[in-house]
Structures are given as structure tokens and as C-alpha cells.
Amino acid sequence: MALTPEQRQVIEHPGGHARVSAAAGSGKTATLVARVVELLRRGADSARIRVLMFNRSAREDFERRLAVAIREAGCQARVSVQTFHSAGYRLLQRLEAEGVVPRRRLESADWVARKLARTALEAALENRDEAEAVEDEAVDAFLAFVDVVKADTREAAVIHAEAPRLLGAALPGHYLEAFRRFEALRDDQNVRLLNDLIHEPVQALLADDALARRFRNHFDHVIIDEYQDVNEAQQQLIRCIAGDRAAVMVVGDPDQCVYQWRGARPEYIVRRFDEDFPGAASYTLPHTFRFGHAVALLGNHTVVRNRQRDGKLCLAAPRNPATEVRRCTDSDPELYRRILAEHRATGGRLSDVAVLVRLYSLAAPLELELLEAGVPLRLEGRAGLFQRREVRALLGYLRHAAGLLRDPLPDGAGPAELLTEMLMLPVAGLRRPEAQAVAQGYADARLPLIRSLSRAAEDLPRWKGRRLRQRVASLECLGAFHGDDPVADVLDEIVSELSLYEAIASGSPSAEAATDRSMMVDALRRFAASGGWGLTEFLERCDELIARSAQWQDAPPEQAVRVTSIHRAKGLEWPVVIVPGLAEGTFPYGVGEATAADLEAERRLFYVAVTRAQHRLYLVHPQDPRLERALRGGRAEQFDPHRAVASRFLAEAQPEHSIAAGAALHRGETPDKRLRTRVVGDYLAALQGHEVVTD
């Protein structure tokens, strides 16, 4: 195994607590595996070593690599590698056995938590008009609040009050009552959820120090990976496991702390570790073995502006590929096809390519372009554009205007499903089950839509019937269109008649969700305008794309472009990475009301996105003369983000300087003085101070 001097220092750490700051792609897993083997060589009891990972896939990968390393070292040992949740669950079982906490059944299925949340929200909103709007997005947002509460050790009311600081936005007032009801439902049903596995035992031990002492000091060594992602509950679990006996080694990178909505904060690795585990040695793994100097400089130029970090620079190792970085404007309607064609012309595969997005709606133009070109893609973590509810609603309105609402979509969605979404956007006074019943009545009765809805309104409470009749009036207006009318005009009328954007804003659980949904509507409208289609012609084209998308979902192609969020991409890498949507307001998101902490969090997301690329990185942004002037001048300070269209991160990243300086370094040359920003100068000094050697 090739080792840097810094990796050797970590592996050979003499003892006591240690904090390791590891750059993206620095080989930290291999280093931790070698550290465990080194402890075994020194005679450490394998039963007293505990390794904690964040998820099952990371645990399984570490276990596999550790088993090979132990076997090759000639050791006979088995070391416990657990996720935080499994460690909490084991502790919880012991507390159950002693009668400290009640025995409950563990429910890990997502639908269980969602059902509890929906019931709790509806009960909390029972006497309010908002009760009609408990949609999936509202359930998601409330469960995110539950997760944040369970990731902490303080009362829910405290978390709720501090939400603007912790989460970047205030939370709805009914969340506290909904949380009380959520917990009461959980108690009544004797249910324990995944987010209780750490929270519940930690709370029990914090409440009883005598009890906590019995569970401490059972280990000599505790090793934690991805420590930048810990929250308060996990920090307290580490303290409980370690006690006063164990030497704790943590590895992480404050520049990659991107899970704030789970309670993670850079301060845990930057400050809290030293407070809770005093006297810790500090090590740095600065070299990345993933990408070249241009990407390293690009990321460094951006992230050094953050205050909550440890000052480390990411350095490209000498033998790394010379990663190519390109800026592209999003005005090219065939941009993504050109990128993929170029990649495939050099023997590349579609599976080499990842599109990393801040909001899923930013992938909509790419999704439409690739669907039209017949290029397979796989969207991870969210439904595709034509499966999104707001787009389903628009398709329903368009099909009604064309007299085609009763015809099912190629993916099997029938008139009842489309009409349900139409009645929920905007909300026509109905809860979703009521809207589904009304829509199913239309599908079954074979009456004309207007007559069917008018009859349904008669059977509803007065205020709900009034709201539904208002929707009927809007639908009658849309019935005046013809199949050859320009579809862009029809969409404009739908948006105006229904005040669609206002409905999305008022019906979304957060500003970010509203932005994402509105941008999906924008994407469909731009697509409709780009083709100059008539109404019927456009719906036929959509049917072709829906059929193609459904085919890829039913039988996912082996070779497909991956589209995923930046959050989901952390820890992964691809030969080609595309980052679209680099515009002020979307990335960084919500800059108008963003705090300094919010901007630092967005900056870390940008850093994570660009450092996933191995060979080629594309940064896609809107045209902006102000950005071009700032980059030509080589001074990010000349870029005024408040007047700009393109993202400030592009100016901060100094792409031209990063690319040119990186190219010089790959040629073995010293970058010209005109390229030496402060970051480039510090980078050169760091390269000289950190030599990479191999065994």
C-alpha cells in the first residue's frame, strides 16, 4: 500500500485522542483500516476496539477491507464495526432488559413514520383551513423537524425556537403540537422508529449519571469515520461509549459537512471534539488521489472563504489525472447532448457521467433534452419531471383543454390520477382522500368533467362545495381552447387563471420546496415554448417522452447517466461530473434571506459537488457579463452577487486562474506570477511542505 507521510503519522499515532482532518479523496478509509491493523499488531484486544460508521454500505465496505488487511497481516482477530444506529440499538436493548426504557417494536418502514406524521399533522390542524393541505411535501417537512429534534438532546420547543439559526428558516407554529401528538401516537402504538435508536438511550443515560457510568469504559479504542456529520445525539453516544478509558480517533472534513438538516455542524470537528476529548493530537491528510490541481484549486478558492473550518488546503497528489474543468452557459439547447457525445467519442460510457444538482428541478432541462435524444438517464432520490405532481396537474389541465382527459398516459396514469392532482393544485377545498374520491367518481361515471364535478360539489359541505365550483368555472374557461392553439398560450392561461405560482408558494411546506416545484412548472413551460407546438401536438410529444421514461424505469438500462443530489453524492466519485444551475438564488439557494451560516453551508455543497469529478468537470451557469468581467480581471471582489445572474461561487472559485495554474503544475512548471492569487500561493507552499512518497 502506498502511503503518504501524513497517513503514516495517523497509522502510527502513539496513543490518546486524535482528530484527523481528511481532504476529499484522501484515502482515509485505507488509513483507518491500517490504523486498526496497527493496533492489533501492538497487542490491542480486538474485543475492546469499536469502529463507528454512518451507514450500512460504509460499514460493509470497511468490514470487507479490514478483513482482508487483518488476514494479510497474519492476525487472528475480529473487530466490531457498527453504524451509529446499530450501536444505539444494542445499547437500547440492554436498557430494555434492565427495565430502564419500555420494550417497543422497531418499525423501520418509511410508511409507518409517514402515517404517524400525517395523522399528527391533521390533528394539530384540525380546526384550521390548512388541514386541507397535508400533502406529501408537508409530511416530509414535518418529519425533517422530527429528525432534527431526535438528533439533539434538547426539548422540541427549543429546537423549534432556534430553527432560523439551525435550519435557516422559521418553522410553522403547529409543528410543536403536531410533535406532541406524534410522540403520543408512537407511545400508544408502542412503536420505536429509526431516529429513536440513538436519541432514546442517550436521553436515558443523560438523565441518570449512575446508570451512564455502568455503560462507560468498556473499550480501549473508538474510531469514528465521517465525523463532520455527527449531531449532538451522536456526540453524546460517542462520549458514553468512550467514557474516560477509550482513546478516541475521529476522521472527517469540516469542508464536507453538508447534513445540517440532520443536526450536523462543522463545529463538532473544528471545536467540540477538543472540548469533549481534551489533549487530542491533530493530523491532516491533505492529499487527494481523485482529481488534479485545477479542481483542487477551484475547491480551495471557494471554501477558504468559510470561517467554520480548520484551514486545511486540499492538495492534488503528483500522479493524479489532469482533471479538465469547463464552464458552459445554459443557453445551448443541445449542451448535454454535446457533452455526452464528446465523452462517448473517446470511448467513455454513460455510466461514467453524474449530474449533481442542488435542487432536483435544476435537472429538468437536462432530463427533457436527454429524453428527446433517447439517451438513458437514471434519476435517484426523486421522481422524474413527468411523474412530479405539479407537472401531472398541468398535464391534466392541458388534456382537459384538448378534450383528452379520459385517455390514460403511456405510463398507466388514468383520468382519476390526473384529476386528483388538478384538484390539489391549487387545492380545491379538498383533502387528498376527498379529491381522490371525487376524481374516481368522474372516472367511473363517464359523465362530462364539468357535470361530474358540479354534482360532487352538491354533496360536499358548503364551503368545500363553493371552492370546487370555483374550480369548475376555471375548467370551463379552459374548455374554450382548441387542439391547434399554441400550447404556450394555453399554459399561460392555466397559470394565470389558477394563480398557480401563488398556490404553490402558499401550499408548500418550505420556501425551498416552493422554489423546486415552481421551477418544475417553469421547465415544462420553457419546453412547450421551445417547440412552437400546438396543444394536441405537444401532448402527443409528451406522451412519447413519458413512454420512454416509463420504459427506462421498468427496465433500467445498464448504461445510463446518473442524476442525483449533491447531498446523496457525498463520498462518491465519477469520471465526469456536471453541475447545472449555478445561478444566484438557486445555488447558492435563497441568497436574499440567507445568513452567513447559510452561505457557508451552500459553499460546502459546491465544494462537495466539484470534488466528485475525476477526469472532467462541467460547471453550467446562465450568461452573465458581470461574471465574465470579474473573471477577466482575476478579482472575485469585483463581482457583485446582488446584481448578478450567475452564481457567486463561480467568481469565488477563480476558474480561469485555477485551470491555468493547475495546467502549469501538471506540466511540472511553476505558475506564472499573474496567476498567483493568495490561494495559489498558499497551495504552492503547501505542495512543497507536504511531500508524497510511496513504499
Annotated binding site for ATP: 22-29
List the grid coordinates of 651.
467568481
Nearest to 180 by CA among 149, 144, 137: 149
Distance CA 4, CA 543 (A): 56
Nearest to 66 by CA among 363, 53, 54, 123: 53
Distance CA 230, CA 127 (A): 39
Distance CA 194, CA 223 (A): 23
User: Is-cis flag, bond preceding 588, omega within 30?
Assistant: yes
Phi-psi region of 394 (alpha: psi -120 to 50; beta: other; left: phi over 0): alpha
Label residue 190 exposed, middle or buried (CB < 10 Å: 0-12, 13-18, 19+): exposed
Place of cell 431526535: 150
- Characterize the bridge pairing of strands 353-357 and 574-579: parallel
Secondary structure (3-state) at 1: coil
Distance CA 364, CA 375 (A): 14
Binding residue positions: 22-29
- Angle formed by the axes of helices 511-531 and 535-554, nearest 10°: 120
List the grid coordinates of 337.
447532448
Separation in Å, CA 159 to CA 141, 146, 471, 635: 15, 10, 39, 40
Separation in Å, CA 450 to CA 125, 146, 342, 454: 31, 42, 52, 6
| Torsion from C-alpha of 64, 69, 74, 80, nearest 10 degrees | -50
Q: Count of CB atoms within 10 A of residue 137's CB?
A: 18
